[in-house]
Every structure is written in structure tokens, then in C-alpha cells.
Structure 1
């Protein structure tokens, strides 16, 4: 087997972090192709793990096994899928035609580069590793056996695809083509999920519990920014004390989807959906003197890489600073970040600075993360990506 020897400065081996960057490699003994199995050893020649190689990515090796007696065989890959599915069966509701859940959560399920959600009878797989592509037939075969799904649609994210040197392979991967929209019921509300053209994996299942919990703190007039499916606002109307919601999203497809959702749930008279940019909308409301009792900020990932950290943090700062300017005294601010590179401490620092500039005393009532079918790996801190703070100022 081809050997990859890490540099003496490499420090992640003992922590079992699954990513081995090109800068941490001293030498490669052989000429591995994309997706080839490799043996990773330290500078001291001690075994570190078995992984898959990708010469096109800065993550040169993704390590999947840290057990020298457990190479990457067919049984190994199938057992990883079974383990992930078994974990969900322990605490998630039994699958129905109207519910959805995450089945595989990349690094947290020791399958770095693969995310799989289930919606009713269909699977949506998002591939984020070129090296893992050659194992997809095997992985999806086991998933289909575990779930008895009707079909599996495969998607890749543009930025990740470029970083991985991966070809565009989106489309039906196995079984039947999913319908244009799949109905999903959550907390008594029905959404239509688009597996083919929807954002990410079609629906943000990671905010499931947060959408309901936020409703317990929400009241009065509510501004739901980056609303996507209108989930936060609709839950606040149905389960909270909110009287009216303005939902805003920069995506025209999201606006159409949100409008359809509020209509099918009988909330169109109290939920107004608008197309617009969150920063511009907040600036306009501030200049007009418009105030809200509840504001939800759930923007897309603003920090996609370390090179965009400074710009992304400025974006989070500006968004929260503007929101505090239009939040009524003692109002509820719900602010989220899905950037894995932004730690909780760093996000809190951004909020402190925004509150200081706005001359508001911001108090966090609850610090929340994703729903439990989206676990986080202690070995890979980047998997602890979602931060959802319910606060008052």
C-alpha cells in the first residue's frame, strides 16, 4: 500500500482529526491516483491511519480508520453506513412519508465528505470529497438497503467541487427520480422540499429544534431575515406570540418557496415574504425608524475558508449591528452562524463588539446547536458548525 509520511510539525495525528493537509505531508512513497487507499504514518514511522488520497485538494488525505487492523475494505464502508443509520434509529422518530432526518453527517459519522438526508421515501446525498466518489456505489447500496428508499439523488456544492477538483456529477444516482416537491411535516407545519434545486440538501433539518424553541421567546412584530422556507417565522406565528412577520430572502427561488409554504399553512395573511438583501433591508428599516420585537438572523455561510475569515466576520458584525439598531428595547434577537471555521468564542466576540457599538446590553438566553441527527465530532472541531443564540437586548 502507498505510504504517506507526515512532517515532524504535524500535530493532528494524536487527536484523530480526519483531514491531512498537503502542508503536513513530508513525502508520498508511490504515485497514488485520486481515491486510492493510502497508509498514513508519522515522522517516527508509527501508524496513524488509513485514508483516501486526492492530489487536487489541499486536504490531501481524508483519514477514515485509525485502527491498524481495520483497513478500508467493503465491510468497513458498509459498517460505517450501518453505524450512522443505527444511531438515528435510537433517538429519531420512525421514518414516515412526511418526515425527514439526516442519516450521515460527514466527519461526525466518520465518513468525511459525505452528507445524506432522507425526505420521506427519498435520499439526497451531497458529496464533498473527490476521493470518496469511487466508493459511492458501495455506500449508496448499503444506504438503500438500510432505508428501503425509492431513490437517491446526488448533488455537489460548487465551491467544494472546485476545491476538490471534482467533476459535476449531480443527478439521479439510484432508483426512481424524486418528485418535484416532497412534503415534509415539522411541528405541525408542512413544507415542500425540492431535492434537485433547493439549497444545500433541500431543507435545513439542522435548525429543526431551534425553529420550535425560538417560537417560545418570540412576540410582537417579527423580522425573519434569510428566511428560506419561512420556518422560523411560521413557527413563531403558530407556536409563539408573534402577530406579524416580514420574511426576507435574496434568492427568488427561496421567496417563491416561502410564499408557497405560508399559503399552504394558512399564514399568508400574517406572513409577508419579500425579495431583498438582508443588509439593505436592515439599513432601510433603520433609516425609516421601523422597529421589531423579534428578529431572526439566519444567513448563509459567510466564512467559507480561512482566506475569507476577515470579510466574513465583518459581515456577521454588520448584520448584527444593524439588527440591534432596529430591535425594540428588551426585544428578542436570534442570531445564527453556520460557518464551521467560526468558533463559538469568535462568534460571541463579534456579538460583543456589535452590541458595544450599538450601545445595547446583549444577554444570551440560550446557546443552541443543530438537532441531534446532526452530531458533532470532538476530533474535528469544524463539524461543530451551527451556532444559534437566543438573546435579548
Structure 2
């Protein structure tokens, strides 16, 4: 089957790039934006494979054309003609990078798109299922090739073969028509549960779910909480934007006295409650601002951008603030920064003096230095100080590339010993 693909991929169409696009290619960035394409692009169709050449007819690389969205060409290889052997080596490298994770979890990202030099394609492992997402229909042939090679190499690289391979459309596919959920290996009714573990925590995730199953990129924080248990031990914790609850479960495993978890999504909270409730009747979260308690956990559905009154005057020793992407496009950046400041300010009003505040951001258009500036300035403006700031780095399954700063989207900043100015600092 790979032979048939290699024969198909020989038919690259030649496209001469302009000086701007040439500099992009030589920099190593994986995208050429539509605004940098010449009028000759009108001869190409969505999904065409392209041999990219300079004005001097030098082969600069290969890419795939997309007629939809701001990204006109995604670069699949640089420096010369396309090589299937190079693609196989690229995929082999992804296995090697994630090798250490297999001992501590069975839920991680096998392919991380542009950051793994496999643009527009992600493959996540959740237990015995691989979940594949393709971020443009122009990449569907490429994604099939990637997954075929991934599957053929898995056993040799020590990766257990999946029982099921599930293909879904990412939520941010833009104006393109979403492909229906389908299986290329195994089959069962959806949605269904997969059992996963993270160190000592056992959990279930429903597939397909948001971001495939749940947010794998938050594992650096979850692992940190399980390793540095003193951060949560015997504390009352508040988890804002908790999604389906795995981070809250890690807080419980770390020894938290109580965990108050809040989210705006009814379905996410109902999935969370089904994991921790002993009742056969699953709780409903139709009603907003109604607190429901399950052992150490209290869950509430609320719009955190509008109403925090359900918390009344309650204080917490540890607060985790993990909002969704607040800057989905360039125009939303000012409003996104304002929203972060507002959320941080509200969180401070419920933090015990001397407590710890964990701020997360998945807004790629706000760089890490800017996110840190937002956190520091908000604390100063509100009259608070902190003893220490710790920044977590992404784990092995979410690599980053210096030539692709957009790919370093996820930030975790831990402010320890946060107190009002003038109050004694705890050691």
C-alpha cells in the first residue's frame, strides 16, 4: 500500500515562490500564507502537492496547497524533492520522543502537527484508541499516509497497536465542511469510554470529545501536582474551567481536603460527575449556579465570564485558572488580554493570603512573555505580591520549534505564596 502512495506522490506540480515565500521556506516556518502567494496559484486546486522552487529554479521544498483559510501552503519537507524515507524517519522520531511517557500514562499525543514536522495532522492515543484529526481537507491524503506509516512502525518502536483508529474533524476546521466521525480500524457505537491512567490516577474519557478526548497538553500540570503533592495536600482547592475533571482528580490524589470545580459546559460536567458519583442515576447540570457535592468534590455549572456570585465569600488556598482560548483570531487579542486580567482579578478575591495561584493559557496569539506580564501586572494592580513564580515546560508529546513560535501555545505559570502587599510572606 505504501508503494502505491509513493507512486502517487511523484506527481508534484511545480510552483515558483516569490521572495517573501522563499524567505519563509529558508527560515523553517511550516506555513506560507495566502497573502504571500502569486497569481499563478489560481492554476492549483485544493489538496495539490507542490514542488516549491525559487526564481533560480532551486528546489526549496514540497508542500500542499489549501484554497480555504489563511494558510495557503503547508510545508511537508524542505531542501529538495519529497522523500518517503525522510517522512518515515520523521515519524520514527515522534515515537522516540514519546518513549519515556509510556511508563507513566497511556494517554498522550503521538503526532503534534507542525511541531513534529507533520503539518495539520494530530494523532492522540487514549488507551486502545488512536484519535486522528486533520485540520484542512487539503491534508486528508497526507494524513492517511502519515497514519499508515505510524501504524506500520508502531510495533517496532515499542508502541502498542491500537484496537481502534477514530477519525474526527477538529472544531476549528473553519468554513470547511466537517468530515463525519469514522473508524479506519475497529468499530463501535460512539460515543464510548476508554480507560486511561496517569501515574496513580485511573480515569475514563469519552470518545470523541473536545480536542479528541480531553486536554492532553495539561498533563504537565497534572504530573506536577502528583509529584509536588505538598502544593495541594490538606488544602481547599478551586479549579476554574475544569472541563471533564481529570486535573481535579489529580488534586484529590495529591491529598486535597476539598476540590470545588467549575465549568460552563453542561456535557463536560455531566461526564465528570459520572466518574465520581456512586449513584447509577447520573446528575444533571441543566441548572446554572447550583452546587452539587460528591465526596470531596463540589461541581457547579456557571458562566465565569459573567457571574461568580455562587462562590459568595469563600476562600481557597489553591486556585487553578484554566480558561479556553481567548484569542481565536488576531482581532481578538485586546479583548483576550482584558478577559485574562478580569479572570485573574476575580480569582484573587477568592484566594487565601499566602495561597498559590496557577494560571494556564492555551491562547497561542499571546506569547509566554506577554502572558507573564499580564499575570504580574494584574497582581501588582490588585495590590498583591508573590514569593516565587514557576513556569512549566511542555511535555515530550507537545514539542515546540523555535522557528514556529505559534506552536508554543500552552503556558502554565505557578505563583506561589501570593499575598496582599503589606502582609507577611509565608516561607
TM beyond 0.5: yes
The answer on 1:92 being equivalent to 2:85 is: no
Larger radius of gyration: 2
The answer on 1:247 being equivalent to 2:261 is: yes
Residues 97, 396 of structure 2: 8 Å contact kept: no
Larger mean Cα displacement after TM superposition, 152-161 or 297-306: 152-161
- Distance, in Å, in 1 between the alignment partners of 2:394 and 2:148 is 28
Count of aligned pairs between the two proteins:
379
The answer on 1:153 being equivalent to 2:177 is: no
Task: Tell me which residue corresponds to 1:193.
Answer: 205
Of 300, 304, 327, which residue of structure 1 is paired with 2:328? 304
Write out per-residue CA displacement over residues 289-312 of structure 1, whole angstroms, 9 at most, x where no aligned residue.
Answer: 221111101111111121211121
Write out per-residue CA displacement over residues 22-60 of structure 1, whole angstroms, 9 at most, x where no aligned residue.
Answer: 122244367111111113345666543211001222110
- Residue segments in structure 2 that go unaligned for 5+ positions in a row: 1-12, 155-159, 279-292, 419-427
In the TM superposition, what is the alpha-carbon distance from 1:111 to its structure 2 partner? Answer: 0.6
Say what the alpha-carbon RMSD is for the aligned residues: 2.4
In the TM superposition, what is the alpha-carbon distance from 1:278 to its structure 2 partner? Answer: 2.2
Task: Tell me which residue corresponds to 2:300.
Answer: 274
In the TM superposition, what is the alpha-carbon distance from 1:7 to its structure 2 partner? Answer: 4.1
Write out per-residue CA displacement over residues 329-383 of structure 1, whole angstroms, 9 at most, x where no aligned residue.
Answer: 1111011001122111110121123212211114543101332211112221111
Task: Tell me which residue corresponds to 1:14.
Answer: 26
In the TM superposition, what is the alpha-carbon distance from 1:246 to its structure 2 partner? Answer: 0.7
TM-score, with length taken from structure 1: 0.89
Task: Tell me which residue corresponds to 2:112.
Answer: 105
Task: Tell me which residue corresponds to 2:215.
Answer: 204
- Distance, in Å, in 1 between the alignment partners of 2:116 and 2:300 is 38
Write out per-residue CA displacement over residues 257-285 of structure 1, whole angstroms, 9 at most, x where no aligned residue.
Answer: 21122347xx9311111111223453553
Larger mean Cα displacement after TM superposition, 178-187 or 221-230: 178-187
Task: Tell me which residue corresponds to 2:14.
Answer: 2
SS in 1 for 2:348: helix
In the TM superposition, what is the alpha-carbon distance from 1:128 to its structure 2 partner? Answer: 0.9
Of 111, 114, 125, which residue of structure 2 is paired with 1:118? 125
Residues 21, 58 of structure 1: 8 Å contact kept: yes
Of 195, 202, 220, which residue of structure 2 is paired with 1:183? 195
- Distance, in Å, in 2 between the alignment partners of 1:209 and 1:178 is 31
The list of structure 1 runs, each at least 4 consecutive aligned residues, that deviate by more than 6 angstroms after superposition, is none
SS in 2 for 1:65: strand
Task: Tell me which residue corresponds to 2:236.
Answer: 221
In the TM superposition, what is the alpha-carbon distance from 1:6 to its structure 2 partner? Answer: 2.5
- Distance, in Å, in 1 between the alignment partners of 2:414 and 2:319 is 10
Of 230, 233, 239, which residue of structure 1 is paired with 2:245? 230
TM-score, with length taken from structure 2: 0.82
